[in-house]
Amino acid sequence: MAQVFAYITHKGGAADDSALELAAAAKKLGADAVTAVVTGTGGELDAVCKDMAASYKEVWKIDNAAMAYPNAEVVRKALVNVLPGDCLLLLPHDTFGIDLGPGLSIKMNSAYVSDVVAIDGLEGATLKVVRQEFGGAASTHMTVDTGAGAVVTLRPGSFAADESKSAGGQVVDKSGDAGDLTAKRKYLETVAAEVGDVDITKSDVLVSVGRGIEDQDNLQIVFDLAEAMKADVSCSRPIVDAKWLEKSRQVGTSGLTVKPKVYMAMGISGAFQHVGGIKGNPFIIAINKNPKAPIFQVADVGIEANILEFIPELTEKIKSL
Amino acid sequence: MEILVCVKRVPDTAENEISVSSAGNDIERGDLVYSVNEWDNYAVEEAIQIVDRVGGNVTVVAVGDDESEEILRREMAMGANDGLLLKDGAFDGSDGKGTASILKAAVGKGKYDLILTGAQAEAGAAQVGGMLAAMLDYPYASLVNKVEVIDDKKLKVGREIEGGNQEINEIELPCVLSIQTGINEPRYVGIRGIRKVASVEIPVMGASDLGLGADSVGAAGAKVKRVDYFVPEMGAGAEMLEGSTEEIIDKLVELLKAKGGLK
Ligand SMILES: Cc1cc2nc3c(=O)[nH]c(=O)nc-3n(C[C@H](O)[C@H](O)[C@H](O)COP(=O)(O)OP(=O)(O)OC[C@H]3O[C@@H](n4cnc5c(N)ncnc54)[C@H](O)[C@@H]3O)c2cc1C
């Protein structure tokens, strides 16, 4: 079978959580040897490569100052030059994988399938995977013709990390093959997210509201409930996109990671980018008018209700205690 | 600046409860409300705002069927100057690469400095923009939440990365950007606006107009195929509280007390 590679994202000398998830996913392809490929420069890169050799039989290191920051346009060029054209390459479906994967598949003339949540296996050159559509409301089986290679991005958190660390692998320096890395996009700087007045990452109890609240004026009932419960208000992304609440209240992959004891999701469908921001295994209560909403799959307790009616009644009850 | 914005007509997930059809080959399409893909709408607004600042022209393009005309018109009512519909039976069943190939051919028929797509559509693949850029050999940035025109050769763009941090890049024109929601506040489109563009001619191009061979697009050219739609067997899922609202609230309050949700 074609060679399988896993692209390792890293920061400050430490590999991302996805690194060991990709190792686990690669096993589902039936590959006996998976190669990690790591780009970057200097001591941080060396540290990550050394670390990865515990989990991957072989680690391909591509060291170049042009990749000190992982600019996908630059990394793409290096990968096209270094990787065999017909390989299977696994990437995390995060903001870097989304940036790199589609264009890389074109330049390698490979098939592309993204945001994979499960791998059913590889039969001959046909890869069978599971994806989701409509924000998780429907799942699909997909087939991918990997005959000329494939780039596959995997949803973070969907594959249990392979923690065995028994690969005893070796690091192979491929820096000489990286080729011309000039690009028409230049990384300048990273601007940190704004800090808000409440720090939802420290809250024990979060009353979280989503698009189901329908109107900005209706937010008052959510704040009233939070006050009665002595909880803080957080939200899903559409509420921030609409500028109804500050970004510092957004839970999710592009917002904050929270770890409360109790999380109430109200009028939130349960997209993985939202749920990905809820950590520490809290007690999750979901209130949604749609009994099929994906949030009910991750919640401990569910209530099928119209939040516009339910929330005020709940607030009244709590106030009367 | 000549800007092309790629838009798609999709079932509106905020308006519909999506369910899998009994045959398992599609979702239930009977009563679906369709609209322009949420991300694309932000892309069109951004294009209009750029043209308001530096001048130019906005064209909206859709790969779709006759019904996609309605969303092109909606975006024209917002302020896009021109529409273009790419329609052909041969396009059916295209995978991401097929769709990008169709759009690439359309780009070749015009002259654009900047091409925008939404960051993703209903399938959550987030792929067409990046593929299109690579096919055109243009630089690309995904998940863009800020665009600043430096001059007619470069832009400064912000990309939204994990944790809501923003990665600032300089990118040469022509380029392709995929736009993230929240970058702006898309303007409201009223009935009057729609009426104004109701009779504007929207050109249609098919495979032969675009010089596309039937085997490079559509199901024939697709390496990635959807086999079925299904509802996954899940673990236990949530315990649903049943009864009258009053009973449910009583149970909920007990649970909140037990779990430390009430202080
Ligand atoms: C790169 C990227 C990053 C992202 N990052 C994040 C992130 O950090 N955080 C985040 O939240 N999202 C994020 N998203 C967006 C995410 O994919 C979803 O679009 C979003 O989470 C949906 O928010 P929602 O559940 O509030 O809205 P919807 O999906 O529209 O769901 C609304 C829900 O409310 C229910 N409802 C409607 N009316 C009522 C009512 N009256 N009573 C009860 N229920 C009602 C509906 O049944 C539905 O389930 C990201 C997307 C991308 C592409």
Q: How far apart are CA A279 and CA A272, in angstroms?
A: 12
- B-chain CB neighbours of A132 within 8 Å are 124
Tell me how many domains chain A contains.
2
Question: Within chain A, which residues score under 50 in pLDDT?
Answer: none
Q: Does some domain include residue A185? A: no
Q: How far apart are CA A86 and CA A148, in angstroms?
A: 5
Q: Are residues A153 and A276 in the same domain?
A: no
Nearest atom in ligand 1 to A290's CA = 47
Please name the amino acid found at residue A312: P
Secondary structure letter of residue B173 according to DSSP: S
Judge contact between A113 and A140, C-beta under 8 A.
no
Which residue in A301, A314, A316 has the most chain B C-beta atoms within 10 A of its own C-beta, making it the best mutation to test that interface? Answer: A301
Q: Is B149 exposed, middle or buried (0-12, 13-18, 19+ CB in 10 A)?
A: middle
Q: Residue B234: its pLDDT value, please?
A: 67
Q: Does some domain include residue A167? A: yes
Q: Does some domain include residue A190? A: no
Q: Are residues A116 and A245 in the same domain?
A: no
Q: Are residues A166 and A293 in the same domain?
A: no
Q: Residue B49: its pLDDT value, please?
A: 98
Q: Which of A94, A114, A253 has its CB closest to that of B125? A: A114
| Digit-coded pLDDT (tens) for A109-148 | 999 999 999 999 999 999 999 999 999 999 999 999 999 9
A43 Cα to chain B: minimum distance (Å): 23
Q: Which residues line ligand 1 (CB under 6 A)?
A: A 135, 210-212, 236-238, 250-255, 267-269, 271, 273-274, 277, 288-290, 293, 306-308; B 13-14, 119-120, 143
Q: Does some domain include residue A165? A: yes
Entry field: residues in chain B? 263
Domain boundaries, chain B: 2-221
Q: Are residues A278 and A211 in the same domain?
A: yes
Label residue B252 left, alpha or beta by phi (over 0 means left) and psi (-120 to 50 means alpha): alpha
Q: Residue B17: its pLDDT value, please?
A: 86
What is the assigned CATH class of domain B2-221? Answer: alpha beta
* Boundary (domain end) residue, out of A134, A162, A177: A177
Q: Are residues A8 and A144 in the same domain?
A: yes
Q: Residue B241: its pLDDT value, please?
A: 97
| Residue matched to tokens 């679906």 | B32
B84 Cα to chain A: minimum distance (Å): 24
* Contact: B227, A140; criterion CB under 8 Å: yes
Q: Does some domain include residue A83? A: yes
CA dist list (Å): A74 to A38, A187, B74, B146: 13, 10, 38, 21
Q: Are residues A307 and A207 in the same domain?
A: yes
pLDDT in tens, chain B (263 residues): 999 999 999 999 877 888 899 888 999 998 899 999 999 999 999 999 999 999 999 999 999 999 999 999 999 999 999 999 999 999 999 999 999 999 999 999 999 999 999 999 999 999 999 999 999 999 999 999 999 999 999 999 999 999 999 999 999 999 999 999 999 999 999 999 999 999 999 999 999 999 999 888 999 999 999 999 998 776 678 999 999 999 999 999 999 999 999 97
* Contact: B141, A185; criterion CB under 8 Å: yes
Question: Which structural domain range is residue A302 located in?
Answer: 200-320
Q: Are residues A312 and A236 in the same domain?
A: yes
Q: Collapse the DSSP code of A238 into the 3-class scheme (helix H, G, I; strand E, B; otherwise coil) and give the result.
A: helix
- The b/e string for A119-129 (b: 16+ C-beta within 10 A; e otherwise) is beebeebebeb
CATH number where A167 lies: 3.40.50.620
Q: Which two tokens stand for residue A275?
A: 């749920």
Which residue in A134, A190, A258 has the most chain B C-beta atoms within 10 A of its own C-beta, making it the best mutation to test that interface? Answer: A134
Q: How far apart are CA A259 and CA A282, in angstroms?
A: 7
* Boundary (domain end) residue, out of A143, A177, A211: A177
Q: Are residues A211 and A140 in the same domain?
A: no
Q: Residue A184: its pLDDT value, please?
A: 98
Q: Are residues A168 and A19 in the same domain?
A: yes
Q: Residue B236: its pLDDT value, please?
A: 73
Ligand 1 centre from A237 Cα, in Å?
7
Ligand 1 centre from A162 Cα, in Å?
31
**A74: nearest CA partner in chain B:** B139
Q: Are residues A61 and A19 in the same domain?
A: yes
* Contact: B126, A98; criterion CB under 8 Å: yes
Q: How far apart are CA A37 and CA A51, in angstroms?
A: 12
Ligand 1 centre from A209 Cα, in Å?
9
Give the list of residues 6+ apart from residue A161 with CB closer than 8 angstroms, or none. A17, A20, A21, A23, A24
Asked if the peptide bond before residue B174 counts as cis, ω within 30 degrees of 0, the response is yes
CA dihedral for A118, A122, A123, A129, sign (positive or negative): positive
* Contact: A254, B160; criterion CB under 8 Å: yes
Q: Does some domain include residue A187? A: no
Q: Residue B231: its pLDDT value, please?
A: 86
Q: Residue A80: its pLDDT value, please?
A: 98
Q: Does some domain include residue A127? A: yes
Q: Does some domain include residue A137? A: yes
Q: Are residues A157 and A286 in the same domain?
A: no
Q: Residue B235: its pLDDT value, please?
A: 67
Q: Are residues A218 and A157 in the same domain?
A: no
- The b/e string for B32-71 (b: 16+ C-beta within 10 A; e otherwise) is eebbbbbbbbbbbbbbbbbbeeeebbbbbbbbbeeebbeb
Q: Which of B126, B238, B260 has its CB closest to that of A301? A: B238
